[in-house]
Each structure stands twice: as structure tokens, then as C-alpha cells.
Amino acid sequence: MHGWMKRKATAAGFEVEYGSLRITPRGLQHFAKEHERALGTVDAVNFEGCLRVLDHDAFKNAFANGIGSAKAFGFGLLLISPLDGNLKRKPEPKENF
């Protein structure tokens, strides 16, 4: 899941601050694909963390359109709010020079 979020964040013009990402499983969600007479399944999760916008245009597009492949079913949508200071961050690793 961390890798998925990193790939999506990069494509969407933001990065998740180191150590702030929390992943909460929501279980399997089933849905019907309207025109295919097939059922789909998504392993739903909530991602929560602090992000830093790197590309404003890409981020605005991702915020307006979502970042997941199951957006039509309510997945991959972004909910943002101002940082309230309650998220616990891990310190960034120190580089050895």
C-alpha cells in the first residue's frame, strides 16, 4: 500500500511527509460493473497523512478527479484539510556523510 500511494502521489504532484502515512483497512468492497454484467472487488483502505504539494496544476487535477482506478465507485478521492498538529510524525532519517 505504501508503494501504491507513493506512485499515485508522484503522478498527482504531491508527496506524503515521511512518517506521517497511516493506512486503515476497510475490507473488501464489491460492486457491479454496469455495462459488463460483472462484479468487481476492491480492497478498500483509508490513507491519512501530511502531504506537500510539489506541482500545483497536477495536484488540482488530482483533487478534482481523484487518484484511484475505481473512482466511479467512490475510491481514490482526496479529502484535504488544514494541518491541525495532531498527526504524529516520525523524524526523518539522518543521512550519514
- pTM equals 0.73
Domain ranges of the chain: 2-73
Whether 97 shows a pLDDT value over 70: the answer reads no
Measured distance CA(92)–CA(97) in Å, rounded: 15
Alpha carbon 78 to its chain's center? 7
CB 27 within 8 A of CB 44: yes
Residue with cell 501530511: 50
Alpha carbon 92 to its chain's center? 20
Q: How confident is the model at residue 86 (pLDDT cuts 50, 70, 90)?
A: low
Q: CB-based contacts of 82: which residues, under 8 Å, 6+ apart?
A: none
